[in-house]
Chains A and B, each alone.
Chain A
Amino acid sequence: MIDGHAFAITAETGRGKSTLTASLHAAGHRLLGDDALVVTCDDSGHRVRAVYPSLRLNPDSAAAFFPGEEGRPMAHYSPKRHLPVGETVEEAPLAALFVLGAPADDVSARPLAAAEACMTVIANSFALDPTDKDRAREKLVKAAALANAVPVWELRYPRDYARLPDVHRLIHKLLAGE
């Protein structure tokens, strides 16, 4: 969360979701979690809550943002480690969704077109049974509602720890509507 606005970050594996999340948390922003989010919608709008509060980083990112913290192993198949999370937020209104694009030389953001935003939400959501047509139909309706209600941005930036504050500033501006 930044300035009371909760936002979600999604991307292909390895694009830096956990690193960006950790850098924001290390900068003092409250964390929901770096795993899955549950998105709900009611009369007050879309809200998000983390499946569980977590922060899992590869050793290099852990050393960059939490020096001296060893953490504990995440799983035998991954070098990532669980780091202790500070103050967390259980649930909050969803203000934006950020999709991490391919690395770039500069920090920039592009609003996703409506259909692209909807399909991005679908592509980054779970389906326990992809063959369940009723669930698929429901997911399309909910993803469209989310894309209609919440701005979706693609963020592109250099994968350089020194540039992450620039990414933070851009996220601040976008959430503030600038």
Chain B
Amino acid sequence: MTDLSDDTLLTRNDQAIESRVGDETVILHLESGMYFGLDPVGTRIWEILAGGATPAAIRARMQDEFDVAPEVLRADVQVFLESLLAHEIVRPA
């Protein structure tokens, strides 16, 4: 798996299609046929990834929008992005 650094530019895999459901998102990976559900916070990160973003940029945007301790945000965003990478929902540019 790709090592995820603060400066790794991530882009959405074009095989990942989405559908909004309320304030959440369901993603279908067309190649694998797997479905992924994103809660509202995950949905916001997915939105930020629309134009490509690094983990550092994502954390900066999320820190502006959510009242959360930086170390908690860093850990949670890292886990989330690593999961998206592992399932090839996003790719390093």
A binds B: yes
State the A residues within 8 Å of B (CB). 113-119, 122, 130-131, 133, 136-137, 140-141, 143-144, 147-148
B17 is an interface residue with CB less than 8 A from chain A: yes
A–B complex contacts, Cβ < 8 Å, 14 sampled:
A113-B37, A114-B21, A115-B21, A115-B24, A115-B39, A122-B26, A130-B33, A133-B30, A136-B30, A137-B30, A140-B19, A140-B26, A144-B21, A148-B21
Contact A136 B28 (CB under 8 A): yes
Please measure, in the bound complex, the distance between the C-alpha atom of A141 and the C-alpha atom of B19, giving whole angstroms: 6
What 0/1 pattern do residues 1 to 19 of B give for CB contact below 8 A with A?
0000000000000000101
Contact B35 A119 (CB under 8 A): yes
Name A137's contact: one of B17, B24, B25, B39 (CB within 8 Å).
B17
| A134 nearest CB neighbor, chain B only | B30
Please measure, in the bound complex, the distance between the C-alpha atom of A141 and the C-alpha atom of B39, giving whole angstroms: 18
Tell me the smallest distance from the CB of B34 to a CB of chain A, in Å.
10
B23 is an interface residue with CB less than 8 A from chain A: yes
| Given A147-B21, A148-B21, also A115-B30 (CB < 8 A) | no
Give chain B residues whose Cβ lies under 8 Å from the Cβ of A136: 28, 30, 33
| B18 nearest CB neighbor, chain A only | A140
Please measure, in the bound complex, the distance between the C-alpha atom of A134 and the C-alpha atom of B17, giving whole angstroms: 11
Please measure, in the bound complex, the distance between the C-alpha atom of A146 and the C-alpha atom of B66, giving whole angstroms: 30
B48 is an interface residue with CB less than 8 A from chain A: no
Name A148's contact: one of B22, B28, B30, B33 (CB within 8 Å).
B22
Please measure, in the bound complex, the distance between the C-alpha atom of A114 and the C-alpha atom of B19, giving whole angstroms: 11
State the B residues within 8 Å of A (CB). 17, 19-26, 28, 30, 33, 35, 37-39
Tell me the smallest distance from the CB of B79 to a CB of chain A, in Å.
18
Please measure, in the bound complex, the distance between the C-alpha atom of A118 and the C-alpha atom of B25, giving whole angstroms: 9
| Given A114-B21, A115-B38, also A144-B26 (CB < 8 A) | yes
| Given A113-B24, A115-B38, also A140-B17 (CB < 8 A) | yes
Give chain B residues whose Cβ lies under 8 Å from the Cβ of A113: 22, 24, 37, 39
Give chain A residues whose Cβ lies under 8 Å from the Cβ of B21: 114-115, 117-118, 144, 147-148
Extra contacts, 15 of them, besides A130-B33, A143-B19 (Cβ < 8 A), are A114-B22, A115-B24, A115-B37, A116-B37, A118-B26, A119-B35, A122-B26, A133-B30, A136-B28, A136-B33, A137-B30, A140-B26, A141-B19, A144-B21, A148-B21
| A123 nearest CB neighbor, chain B only | B35
Give chain A residues whose Cβ lies under 8 Å from the Cβ of B17: 137, 140
